A = this chain, B = another copy of it.
Amino acid sequence: MDKHLILASTSPRRKALLEQVGADFEIIPSELRENPIIGTPVQQARALALDKARAVAHGRRSGLVIGADTIVVVNSAILGKPRDRHEARTMLRLLAGRRHQVITGLAVIDTGGGREVVAHEESAVWIRSLTDDEIERYVASGEPDDKAGAYAVQGLGSLLVERIEGCYYNVVGLPLVRLDRMLAEFGVHLL
């Protein structure tokens, strides 16, 4: 049975993480219009990850499709990618000096047998207090533009994140230990 991995995501961070652990995989973006989903943040992240994986799995006869969706939650509000730099500033002001949650929904579908496994990982992140000047310099770097919550823990944003409780790679966008455990259910091991 062919168990080659298909990552249903165009995120360069997810691609880099799978490469980091030496995984052999193919990228097929899910052309999913992200419709609003009802439910808690965890339910939304899980449902969207599954939708993405299903969109790519549909009609395929071989391969394990991996879908993922990462969201940033602060005070029960979900922060997506900022629409512009004004919104990026607003998000960073909201996150600075307090704790927030990062949730990644993960789905793995075996296109051969049709079996679906869904899980999620949740980490707490503390961003240090920031001056307006610091927010301005960070926004000007362009890094917040395409990131949920307007920051990247793995880039210049490493100067903002003072504490994590949970899986670090979940905060980057792909919880590797969790994914490895899910793939093991299909007989695939990353290590």
A159 touches B128 (CB 8 A): no
| Interface set, chain A 145-159, CB cutoff 8 A to B | 153-156, 158-159
Of B159, B169, B176, the residue contacting A191 (CB under 8 A) is B159
Of A14-22, A100-108, A110-118, the one contacting chain B is: A14-22
CA distance A166 to B165 in the complex (A): 7
Complex contacts, A188 vs chain B, CB 8 Å:
none
Beta-carbon contact of B177 and A162 below 8 Å: yes
Besides A21-B156, A128-B177, A164-B164, 16 more A-B contacts (Cβ < 8 Å) are A17-B158, A21-B158, A21-B159, A22-B156, A134-B191, A153-B168, A158-B168, A158-B176, A158-B177, A160-B191, A162-B177, A163-B165, A164-B167, A164-B168, A165-B165, A168-B168
Q: Are A20 and B167 interface neighbours, CB within 8 A? A: no
Give Cα A166–Cα B156 distance, bound, in whole angstroms: 18
A interface, over-half SS: mixed
Among the listed B17, B156, B168, B190, which residue makes an inter-chain contact with A20, where contact means beta carbons less than 8 Å apart? B156
Partner of A169, one of B21, B137, B158, B180: B158
Q: Are B164 and A165 in contact (CB under 8 A)?
A: yes
Assess the A159–B138 pair: CB atoms within 8 A. no
A158 contacts across to B, CB distance below 8 A: 17, 20-21, 168-169, 176-177
List 30 A–B pairs whose Cβ atoms lie within 8 Å, in order of A's numbering: A17-B158, A20-B154, A20-B155, A20-B158, A21-B156, A21-B158, A22-B156, A134-B191, A137-B191, A138-B191, A153-B168, A156-B191, A158-B168, A158-B169, A158-B176, A159-B190, A159-B191, A160-B177, A160-B191, A161-B168, A161-B177, A162-B167, A162-B177, A163-B165, A163-B166, A163-B167, A164-B164, A164-B165, A164-B167, A168-B168
